[in-house]
């Protein structure tokens, strides 16, 4: 990368992450966050100030596309407690309601992430791996038995992995949602459900959703539960294929929590 884009006086180091595609480039008082083959959707997100500013995009000799973003000094990722804050709900709501982002992603990503498609993906994952224990099969049955009664919402831009490590807070108190390689057009419950089940106590759901811009109704709750189960099953399979047993076990506990969840529904029926 240095030979193609920078002189010898630049220092380029891996930025961590699971894909090995991210780097930090430093020279005197200049510092960039670099990534190979990011989604072209990044430019639209930068304009909306949802990710740190995109500085440039360049194609190198081997065909890779390198993007450079502004480095955010004194930044930190959110912790689990921070995810309950109104600013998280408000930013996610702004993303989901953005017609501009929806239009831009629609030009790039043509796939329809409907509940039918997602259930088919989950079923394929289960059939093609040896990881199909009783809990997994119970979750698959729940999805199959409840899919036809879902009132699926209009598809919006969804991030697809809203865990706390992908939320970045700058030293100037600006909040960003980063790592958009899994962006998709789908029911917003794909993002909201997993976030709520992981980070927000049931007693705070209504207030959190009010900041997000959505009333907690029985129909919306059903979507939250259904799409959360889908997302967790796919994440568990991803971790299983890579031999990441501790993370798979953590997700297994989350799946149990979602499947056994009757507290929110009982509250809504009071």
The secondary structure of 27-61, three-state, reads ECCEEEEEEECCCCCHHHHHHCCCCCCEEEEEECC
At 116, phi and psi to the nearest 5?
A: -65, -45
Instruction: Give catalytic status of residue 9 as yes or no.
Output: no
The secondary structure of the chain, three-state, reads CHHHHCCCCCEEEECCCCCCCEEEEEECCEEEEEEECCCCCHHHHHHCCCCCCEEEEEECCCCCEEEEEECCCCCEECCCHHHHCHHHHHHHHHHHHCHHHHHHHHHHCCCCECHHHHHHHHHHHHHCCCCCCHHHHHHHHHHHHHHHHCCCCCCEEECCCCCHHHEEECCCCCEEECCCCCCEEECCHHHHHHHHHHHCCHHHHHHHHHHHCCCCCHHHHHHHHHHHHHHHHHHHHHHHHCCCHHHHHHHHHHHHHHHCCCHHHHHHCC
Marked catalytic residue, from 125, 161, 191, 261: 161
Contact between 96 and 189 (Cβ < 8 Å):
no
* Tokens found for residue 37: 């083959």
Q: Catalogue the active-site residues.
A: 161
């Amino acid at each position: 990368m240095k030979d193609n884009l920078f002189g010898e006086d630049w220092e380029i180091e891996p930025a961590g992450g699971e894909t090995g595609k991210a780097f930090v480039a430093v020279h005197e008082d200049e510092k960039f966050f670099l990534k190979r083959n990011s989604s072209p959707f990044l430019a639209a997100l930068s304009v909306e100030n949802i990710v740190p500013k995109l500085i440039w995009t360049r194609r190198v000799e081997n065909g890779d596309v390198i993007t450079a973003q502004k480095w955010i000094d004194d930044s930190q990722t959110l912790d689990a407690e921070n995810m309950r804050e109104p600013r998280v709900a408000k930013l996610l709501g702004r993303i989901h309601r953005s017609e501009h982002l929806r239009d831009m992603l629609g030009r790039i990503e043509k796939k329809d992430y409907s509940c039918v498609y997602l259930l088919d993906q989950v079923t394929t994952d289960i059939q093609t791996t040896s990881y199909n224990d009783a809990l997994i099969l119970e979750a698959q049955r729940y999805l199959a038995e409840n899919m036809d009664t879902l009132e699926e919402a209009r598809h919006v831009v969804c991030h697809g992995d809203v865990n706390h490590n992908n939320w970045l807070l700058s030293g100037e108190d600006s909040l960003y949602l980063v790592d958009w390689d899994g962006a998709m057009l789908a029911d917003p419950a794909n993002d909201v459900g997993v976030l709520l089940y992981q980070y927000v106590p049931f007693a705070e759901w209504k207030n959190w959703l009010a900041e997000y811009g959505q009333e907690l109704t029985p129909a919306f709750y059903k979507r939250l539960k259904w799409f959360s189960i889908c997302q967790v099953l796919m994440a568990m399979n991803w971790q299983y294929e890579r031999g990441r047993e501790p993370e798979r076990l953590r997700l297994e506990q989350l799946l149990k929590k979602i499947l056994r969840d009757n507290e929110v529904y009982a509250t809504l029926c009071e």
